[in-house]
């Protein structure tokens, strides 16, 4: 099982700064999701910024969430180290 989300900070450029349960940190770019189904609501940057860590993943108030495995596997860990 991949590490789970321990903390998240949403950024205005539709990226998530994530801390994982194994101590690693990464940046996940949500921009590719913004044209699909329930994720369209995330285009509103004020809504996007309401992201929070819950139960090992990232969620928003209207029940959007992203698979924690996707967040871990597709996050850019190098970008976080230089940020």
15 versus 80: the higher-pLDDT residue is: 15
Task: Kindly indicate the confidence band of residue 1, based on its pLDDT and cuts at 50, 70 and 90.
Answer: confident
What's the average model confidence in pLDDT over 26-36?
97
What are the residue boundaries of the structural domains of the chain, listed by start? 5-78
The pLDDT confidence band at residue 83, using thresholds 50, 70 and 90, is very low
Could you please report the per-residue DSSP string of 20-72? ETTS-EEEEE-GGGTTSGGGGGGGSHHHHTT-EEETTEEE-TTS-EE-HHHHH
What is this structure's pTM? Answer: 0.92
**CATH node for 5-78:** 3.30.2020.10
Alpha-carbon distance 27 to 10, whole Å? 10
The mean pLDDT value of the chain amounts to 94
């Amino acid at each position: 099982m991949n590490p789970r989300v321990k903390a998240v900070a949403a950024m205005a450029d539709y990226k998530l700064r994530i801390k994982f349960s194994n101590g690693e940190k990464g940046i996940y770019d949500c921009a590719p999701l913004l044209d699909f189904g329930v994720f369209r609501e995330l285009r509103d940057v004020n809504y996007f910024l309401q992201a929070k860590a819950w139960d090992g993943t990232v969620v928003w108030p209207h029940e959007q969430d992203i698979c924690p495995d996707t967040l871990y596997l597709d996050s850019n860990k190098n970008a976080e180290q230089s940020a």
